[in-house]
Amino acid sequence: MPRFKMTIEYEGTRYSGWQVQKNARTVQGELSNAIRVVTGITHFEFHGSGRTDAGVHALQQVAHLDVKTVLAPEILRRKINDELPADINVLEIERTSPTFHARHDAIARSYLYQIARRRTAFGKRYVWWIKDALDVSAMKGLLPKFVGMKNFQSFTADDPEEKSTMVLVQEMQLVEAGDLLLVRMVGSHFLWKMVRQLTGVLAAVGRGVVDPAQAEQWLRTTSDEPARFTAPPSGLFLEQVLYRGDRPRPLRSVINIGS
């Protein structure tokens, strides 16, 4: 059975996340329906590198597909795209090793969060607009505190009794791009709502409603407080799934709302 590696982008506003769910429209569900139509095969293996939540977007989600077909990868890609809604697009399909696994073989994930410092008529679905002035220096000063192997139990909705809340965060960046603040987080993996809670706490520090020392303290204790500051899904993008030999993509905004 041939195995294909698929690279996919999607605008997640209309979907209840990546993973197939009963009675809910999902990105994986739309792709699965398109694959069935194109190949005429009902049952096949199709697994993503990980989940994204409702309303979250992806610039480069990766999945692997096991399906019997005589179609060349590029023809398969075009035909699947013809069956997909406009807000999901397969960027690339390539034959890969039968042992390749989209989730298990990934060595890192990169997430991008876009914060808008002004109201925008064009990018509402892709940013979190914060009306208050933000102290960018204070936000940047907090970033190194989250880098390394840390216990992010206070920054997730996952149950620590069911899975480990230890995560290796390899990189945290905050870059100003016109009226946008771009927050990039790169790590081995991320827990449920972790990126949004970290971003929300960063913004709370920038607004002056949370002291940086308190935010750092939440790494050493168990607290429900960070959940109060959870950033909305609209500004969040799965930016890249990295495999051995991959280079990180340049950090840039998805939209431009310059001053």
Give, for 136, the enclosing helix (H) or strand (E): helix 136-142
pTM for the model stands at 0.95
Q: pLDDT tens, 119-156? A: 999 889 999 999 999 999 999 999 999 999 999 999 99
Cβ(162)–Cβ(137) below 8 Å: no
pLDDT at residue 166 in the model: 95
Cβ(147)–Cβ(219) below 8 Å: no
The CATH number that domain 3-96 falls under is: 3.30.70.580
Residue 85: strand pairing partners: none
pLDDT at residue 259 in the model: 56
pLDDT at residue 254 in the model: 94
Give the residue among 99, 107, 92, 70 at the shortest CA–CA distance from 3.
Answer: 99
Tell me how far the alpha carbon of residue 237 is from its chain's centroid: 4
pLDDT of the chain, 259 residues: tens digit per residue: 899 999 999 999 999 999 999 889 999 999 999 999 999 999 999 999 999 999 999 999 999 999 999 999 999 999 999 999 999 999 999 999 999 999 999 999 999 999 999 999 988 999 999 999 999 999 999 999 999 999 999 999 888 777 899 999 999 999 999 999 999 999 999 999 999 999 999 999 999 999 999 999 999 989 999 999 999 999 999 999 999 999 999 999 998 876 5
* Helices 73-83 + 27-39 axis angle, to 10: 120
Q: What ranges do the domains of the chain cover?
A: 3-96, 108-242
pLDDT at residue 258 in the model: 63
Rounded to the nearest 5°, which phi and psi values hold at 94? -140, 150
Give, for 247, the enclosing helix (H) or strand (E): none
Mention every residue, 6+ apart, whose C-beta is less than 8 A from residue 125.
Answer: 11, 13, 234
**What does the block give as tokens for 49?**
């590198």
CA pair distance 173, 185, nearest whole angstrom: 7
CA dihedral over 231, 237, 239, 242, signed as positive or negative: positive
Are domains 3-96 and 108-242 of this chain identical in fold?
yes
Active site residues: 53
Fold for domain 108-242?
Alpha-Beta Plaits (3.30.70)
CA pair distance 149, 133, nearest whole angstrom: 31
